[in-house]
Amino acid sequence: MTKLDETLTMLKDLTDAKGVPGNEKEPRDVMRKYIESYADEITTDNLGSLIAKKVGDENGPSIMVAGHLDEVGFMITQIDDKGFLRFQTVGGWWSQVMLAQRVTIVTSKGDITGVIGSKPPHILPAEARKKPVDIKDMFIDIGASSREEAQEWGVRPGDMVTPYFEFTVMNNEKMLLAKAWDNRIGCAIAIDVLKNLQGENHPNVVYGVGTVQEEVGLRGARTAATKIQPDIAFGVDVGIAGDTPGISEKEAQSKMGKGPQIILYDASMVSHKGLRDLVTDTADENNIPYQFDALPGGGTDSGAIHLTANGVPALSITIATRYIHSHAAMLHRDDYENAVKLITEVIKRLDRDTVNKVTFE
């Protein structure tokens, strides 16, 4: 097994943490542990988004770098009389990636292992076997024999359920496999940007933010941005990797390891042209690789942030990632490190005059 360095240890701790929308305490505590030594002040909004403030020039503009703490998962809604658990998805799931997968139910008495099940195909008609199982027909099996036994173990409706997966460094050690890259990688980027700014003169106030409830409607980004009132914002998240079999360049053209993605357009936002130009010019000057992408079927926290108050110039910078919204996703360490480097270099340039020029010209 690969020995984990300081960065990999942080990434493992972040992705191992369990936190679906509305239950982000565990990843928030991990993010706080890693970012607090780089921040002058740490607060939260009233929904639980973590806000780490680092002051360069207290009279300079406010810059928000936001990754979301939550991961897609499930919530227990019912326990049947035989001890099987019915559940609600929390965030977007594709039914084909769910069956027979191990999950963790987080109860007041501790974690319980379960597996997602359905009626076995052996007893289904031939036509039914050809169709994906509907999520509403799935259940979670925890090995209980009755509702009472499940309750004795601490299971209650409303309990959080997360995918179970072990953080893994692949044979190509740049390739990292884990649950919850969406979007603990964004939280890691926010941490490392503040770390990079230690001892640096930056002409602004930087906020590294772990937002809540992104997967159910960009909710924490809205409340955190209302509290911060940023002048400029970056939503950092995962994007689509277009380098697996069957994907054409027309569908998705980004490649893992070829640099962070600059999002031109998504369902939640048309990216701010002035900010986009500043970011790409900075990348070109510093020989930092990047890729362009558009996501007409998705959105990021930038979508909520840019509509805060009377508007915030915002840009989404994402990491090409395979198999998002499943138990295990894969990304490339170079893309993560180049995203940190790029955002750090941009922040060093964002004095009041530059922000005014980006915003109003």
Give the pLDDT band of residue 296 (cuts 50, 70, 90): confident
Where is average pLDDT lowest: 68-77, 227-236, 250-259? 250-259
What is the DSSP code (8-state) at residue 322? B
d(CA 174, CA 326): 21
Give tens-digit pLDDT for 201-210: 999 999 999 9
pLDDT value of position 129: 78
- The model's pTM is 0.96
Give tens-digit pLDDT for 83-131: 999 999 999 999 999 999 999 999 999 999 999 999 887 777 788 778 8
Q: Where are the beta strands (DSSP E) in 38-171?
A: 41-44, 50-55, 62-68, 73-79, 85-90, 102-107, 110-117, 139-141, 160-163, 168-169
pLDDT of residue 250 exceeding 90: no
Report in angstroms the alpha-carbon separations of 74 from 194, 212, 300: 32, 15, 20
Share of the chain above pLDDT 90, in %: 91
Give the distance, in angstroms, between the CA of residue 263 and the centroid of all CA atoms in the same chain. Answer: 16
Closest CA to 156 of 110, 116, 195: 110
Helix (H) or strand (E) holding 318: strand 314-321
Q: Which CATH class is domain 74-163?
A: mainly beta
Burial class (CB in 10 A: 0-12, 13-18, 19+), 218: buried
Give tens-digit pLDDT for 333-347: 999 999 999 999 999
Give the pLDDT band of residue 1 (cuts 50, 70, 90): low
Do the Cβ atoms of 25 and 204 come closer than 8 Å? no
pLDDT value of position 113: 98
Buried b (16+ CB within 10 A) or exposed e, 129-167: eeeebebeebbbebebeebeebeebebeeebbbbbbbeb
pLDDT value of position 6: 96
Asked whether the CA dihedral 298, 301, 302, 307 is positive or negative, the reply is: positive
pLDDT value of position 109: 97
The arithmetic mean of pLDDT across residues 132-137, rounded, is 93
d(CA 143, CA 164): 17
Higher-pLDDT residue of 127 and 234 is 234
57 contacts: CB under 8 Å, gap ≥ 6: 202, 203, 204, 205, 351
d(CA 60, CA 352): 6
Helices 25-35, 6-16: axis angle to 10 degrees equals 160
pLDDT value of position 35: 98
**Which pair of structure tokens corresponds to residue 350?**
């964002």
| Fold topology of 6-71+179-360 | Aminopeptidase (3.40.630)
Domain regions of the chain by residue span: 6-71+179-360, 74-163
Give tens-digit pLDDT for 149-169: 999 999 999 999 999 999 999
Helix ranges (H only) for the chain are 6-16, 25-35, 126-129, 147-152, 181-196, 219-228, 273-285, 302-305, 333-349, 352-360
Do the Cβ atoms of 258 and 291 come closer than 8 Å? yes
Do the Cβ atoms of 16 and 104 come closer than 8 Å? no
Pairing verdict, β 62-68 and 232-240: parallel
pLDDT value of position 281: 98
Q: Where are the beta strands (DSSP E) in 142-250?
A: 160-163, 168-169, 175-178, 205-211, 232-240
d(CA 310, CA 300): 19
* Residues with catalytic roles: 214
Higher-pLDDT residue of 361 and 280 is 280
**Which pair of structure tokens corresponds to residue 166?**
């072990």
Residue showing tokens 């936190």: 19
pLDDT value of position 361: 67
Give tens-digit pLDDT for 9-50: 999 999 999 999 999 999 999 999 999 999 999 999 999 999
Do the Cβ atoms of 349 and 277 come closer than 8 Å? no
